[in-house]
Amino acid sequence: MGKTHTVTLIPGDGIGPEVTDAVVRILEATGVKFAWEKFAAGASAFEKHGEYIPKDLYASIERNRVALKGPVTTPVGGGFASINVTLRKKFELYANFRPIKNLPGLETRYPGVDLIIIRENTEGLYVGLEHEVVPGVIESLKVITEKGSTRIAKFAFEYAAKHGRRKIHAIHKANIMKMSDGLFLRCARDVAKGYPDIVYGEHIIDNTCMQLVMNPYQYDTLLLENLYGDIVSDLCAAFVGGLGLVPGANLGAEASIFEAVHGSAPDIAGKDIANPTALLLSAVLMLHHLDEAAAAEKLMTALEKVYTEKKTLTRDVGGTAGTKAFADAVIEKL
């Protein structure tokens, strides 16, 4: 009998509950045993408990050290602080790991893409320190620290060394933000010296966007501070079929939260049309993290069969199937 993994589950809102439900069903069909501790977060949690992040949710992540999370809507231009950012800061999930890879059988703008995005997850403009200096003038603080920049650079180089990646580009705008992005680069350069087998390069963020669209194959692993990582992730998602396909992991010493790159997609919520693949691939990363490599591989094989057959794909990738039917197809392959 295999071990039962207790995992904190945050279905989120928008398309979150639909894609989470699909992924939980698929995970259970792998034969791995899970005990889910399920919590609301964000607006729905506030309605029920008067808290955007219930205390019991924090306690559950502290206990289990692993969570699977659907997207939670962040209000624009006001309202409560991002739940995603708050959780990342609270548990010091400093590394946001996002692999961008084509699924076999799915035709996309660029075939054979294999990029790793490593985004600093706790600082930069996401510290949310904004204030009104005088009416009509707002200051928003970008915080870059030596500690934060060094640990994300170490994470990137360690990952690259362990997984046979060839090169790392640090992405910056240090020609304008000479001090903050300058510090980020200095830390990356210092860490790079300890890994002579990995080619290290530096590209300016705006040029990087153009270079990526011209020829994504010139890059291998991208190391970015928080905001650049957010933007470049969505750009790179388009290479492999869109946001419905790109997974993510928020990693730190104390806990790991696995979640898709996409947001709550209110435009398609509640219609059974969202693609659960991005969260499913995040769950594959979680299975590896839980030392369930055989189940992870089995799940990938089942998923790849569904994509290769092309019979039960969701609308975002050219099919007509709903979220539930897609999940059923993967379960059948399992």
Residue 312 lies near ligand ATP (rule: CB under 6 A)? no
Interacting span for ligand ATP (CB under 6 A) from 33-41, 98-106, 259-267, 282-290:
259-267
Rg (CA), the chain: 20
Q: Tell me the site size for ligand ATP, rule CB under 6 A.
A: 16
Comparing CB distances to ligand ATP, the nearer of 221 and 277 is: 277
Among 263, 272, 305, 331, binds ligand ATP (CB under 6 A): 263
Site string for ligand ATP, 121-160 (x = CB under 6 A): ----------------------------------------
Tokens of 173: 């705008």
Q: Dihedral, CA atoms, 240, 116, 262, 224, nearest 10 degrees?
A: -130
Interacting span for ligand ATP (CB under 6 A) from 169-177, 247-255, 266-274, 295-303:
266-274
Among 262, 287, 326, 333, binds ligand ATP (CB under 6 A): 262
Binding positions for ligand ATP, 18-37, rule CB under 6 A: 19
Helix (H) or strand (E) holding 296: helix 293-309
Task: Give the shortest CB-278-to-ligand ATP separation in angstroms.
Answer: 5
- Name the closest residue to ligand ATP (Cβ): 263
Q: Could you give the CA distance from residue 15 to residue 10 in angstroms, rounded to a whole number?
A: 12
- Say if residue 318 is exposed, middle or buried (CB neighbours under 10 Å; 0-12, 13-18, 19+): exposed
Q: Could you give the CA distance from residue 292 to residue 57 in angstroms, rounded to a whole number?
A: 25
Q: Could you give the CA distance from residue 184 to residue 147 in angstroms, rounded to a whole number?
A: 10
Interacting span for ligand ATP (CB under 6 A) from 96-104, 111-119, 198-206, 271-279:
271-279
Tokens of 281: 């691939």
User: Minimal CA–CA distance to 217: which of 198, 251, 240?
Assistant: 240
Binding positions for ligand ATP, 74-93, rule CB under 6 A: 74
Estimate the crossing angle of helix 293-309 against helix 277-289, to 10 degrees. 160
Residue 243 lies near ligand ATP (rule: CB under 6 A)? yes
Among 229, 244, 248, 252, binds ligand ATP (CB under 6 A): 244
Q: What are phi and psi of 228, to 5 degrees?
A: -60, -40
- Residue ranges that bind ligand ATP, judged by CB under 6 A: 15, 19, 74, 234, 243-244, 262-265, 267-268, 274-275, 278, 316
